[in-house]
Chains A and B, each alone.
Chain A
Amino acid sequence: MAEATTYDPLGAVGTWSRRRAKFIIYTLVTLFALIYVLPLFVVVTNSFRDLRDISLNGLIALPHSFSLDYWSQAWDKFCVGGTCEGIKPFFFNSVSMVVPATIISTAIGSINGYILSKWRFPGSEILFGLMTLGVFMPGQMVLLPWARVLGLLGIINTTSGLVLIHCVQGLSFTTLFCRNYYVNIPDDLIKAARIDGAGFWRIFRKLILPLSPPILIVTVIWQFTNIWNEFLFAVIFSSGTHQPITAALIALSAGGTAVHNYNIESAAVLIAALPPLLIYLFGGRYFLRGLTQGAIK
């Protein structure tokens, strides 16, 4: 897998116009980067400012005060929806929802992809087509069916309920990712392994899985981020102390007091945004590589 050489669109022009073009490009890029980063800057600074500073100088202003106190308040002291333990319990609600949902949906997606690419059966292409339809299905469409299913199973307002929803909703994506990746693994490998006496699971463990890290990382990042950030199912199928963090953030800003604690809310939002951010930071390299990587040599 050779790295593609960078294409330089300015390769053919003179030094002077080259410099000028570069200057314009970098100015524009910097400008847009600033525009994108500005809201984050506002939220980050507000999470350290005291309320007086915010109300005097406005929400969008350079900080005149600094304290780490609001972060710790947001984490485990502030009152949200009747309990005063900050967003910590909701954060862990999210963790206990995201981790199993990501692992289960990735694992099943990987096996699905393996079957749909290497053990085709009559109708498997149609089945795959139907599964990918799920990618285009908006969550709103399936709210009522899910309400019914969760009700029947008796797991409304539980973490397991949300795990189930996210596993099923995520399967279209994970299957699609894995299937399209495994399709590029040469069929001859599977044939050779079959002649070598390996069965369905042994081929999966010994051949497919060792080739899978790039696509599994992509799938895990995708699932983790989406499930962590998911709001609709979270807010509808959970309440009170069972809410994941996205739902709890709303409860936090819609708290009993009339005063908006912008600093604490900002800190809470940032805490809530940290896990996907970290996942991207550590896995981002693999994410791009996995998305663009096709053939396996």
Chain B
Amino acid sequence: MASLTIQSLKKNFGSVPVLKGIDLEVKTGEFVVLVGPSGCGKSTLLAIIAGLESVTEGQVKIDTRVVNTVPPKDRDIAMVFQSYALYPTMTVRGNMMFGMESRGVPKPAREKAVARVAELLQIESLLDRKPSQLSGGQRQRVAMGRALVRDPALFLFDEPLSNLDAKLRVEMRTEIKKLYQRLGKTTIYVTHDQVEAMTLASRIAVMHQGLVQQFAEPRTVYDRPANMFVASFMGSPSMNFLPAQINASGSPTVVLAEGNGEPNRLPLPKGVANADSDHRPVVFGIRPENLTRYDRRQAEDIPYLGTIEAPVEVVEPTGAETMVVVRIAGREVIARFEPNAAPAVGEKVKLAVDMTKACLFDPETEMLI
């Protein structure tokens, strides 16, 4: 078990900067998910942690040891690849033993380790098969087994579930979480799937354009996204953004830019606005689930509740919930309804806005205010 520290890490491919100064501190036993759109540098960062890519500038430390130039095999890590990377000519047993053979672990110890992990992952019956004789889910298990058998200080996962079909992916996700809860190993997990990030992580590092945009607990990343990129990347459907202005006189409100009708005024919770921020232009962000049909009884429970009337344009039932596209201030906005409270297309619906969950962003810097 180990901690991982990354300090002002930079990486260029030729003249192209891929990582532009990454700082991360992963505590012992944490499950950190690196999430971001493709090309954000998350896989490169993982490859650098693994020692498969060199460092252009900065430091990577495992515990207190700087490992910048330490070869992968001496970093005491194990990695699960998106493609599984199982050795095709070896049996499952051979795959799991390969690492220990390379390190000269004596045979009885190897057998014991394989038996232990095979039992843990329930792959005992597959030990003598070749990877080509396994299904996708089985290969995934074996790939994890190969990593687990080494009992390393650090686990690295590179989009391990991307090649599985949707149902299996959810199953394996739960399984990875169970494994982590059982073993408590320090883990770095790369994914582009924000649901995976939310469900698995102790902390999430959201990456974009070679920088960590936010590094925090899943709840914080979701409720208080550091900037508009994080806000729109995490959550599906993503957060709605509307141009607005703060009005600090009297009880403070945020005024949405006019569409075709009256400007909408929404009450701001205490402490958000002060005299300095009067008339300040902002981007008003609200998640679909905080924008739903107005209900007088529920309304009393919510301290800061705004209401907006808006025409319904599209209704998308998904089963558990119904997504409704409405038009507010000239823009399409997605709201979430209970299926039995879903409106009809063309209806003008009164929406309740939970202002305690609303986020305000600076339109210039796109940072959370």
Residues of A bordering B, CB below 8 Å: 186, 188-189, 191-198, 202, 206-207, 210-211, 296-297
Contacts and interface: CB of A to CB of B under 8 A. Distances in A.
A64 B84 CA distance: 69
B interface, how many residues as a size bin? 20 to 34
Contact of B77 (A188, A195, A296): A195
Given A207-B89, A210-B89, A297-B132, A192 B102 contact: no
Contact of B103 (A189, A197, A211): A197
B195 interface: no
Contact of A197 (B73, B83, B90): B73
A192 B73 CA distance: 10
Nearest to A1: B132
A196 B99 contact: yes
Contact of B81 (A191, A210, A296): A191
A196 B99 CA distance: 4
A273 to B, nearest CB: 36
A202 B89 contact: no
Contacts of A211: 88-89
A196 B83 contact: no
> At the interface, is chain A mostly helix, strand, loop or mixed?
helix
23 contacts: A188-B81, A189-B85, A191-B47, A191-B52, A191-B79, A191-B81, A192-B79, A192-B85, A192-B146, A193-B87, A193-B102, A194-B52, A194-B71, A195-B50, A195-B78, A195-B99, A196-B73, A196-B102, A198-B73, A206-B98, A207-B89, A210-B89, A297-B88
Contact of B102 (A189, A197, A296, A297): A197
Nearest to A190: B85
B98 A193 contact: yes
A202 B102 CA distance: 8
Nearest to B150: A196
Contacts of B29: none
Contacts of B88: 189, 211, 296-297
Contacts of B71: 194
A36 to B, nearest CB: 40
A202 B82 CA distance: 23
Contact of A186 (B85, B89, B102, B146): B85
Interface string B105-134: 000000000000000000000000000100
A191 B85 contact: yes
Q: Which of A192, A197, A297 neighbours the largest number of chain B CB atoms within 10 Å of its CB?
A: A192
A198 B89 contact: no
B135 to A, nearest CB: 13
A296 B83 CA distance: 13
Nearest to A194: B72
B99 A189 contact: no
B102 to A, nearest CB: 4
Contacts of A296: 88
Contacts of A297: 88, 132
A193 B84 CA distance: 12
A122 to B, nearest CB: 11
Given A191-B79, A197-B73, 13 more contacts: A188-B82, A189-B87, A191-B72, A193-B87, A194-B52, A194-B72, A195-B72, A195-B78, A196-B102, A206-B90, A210-B89, A210-B90, A296-B88
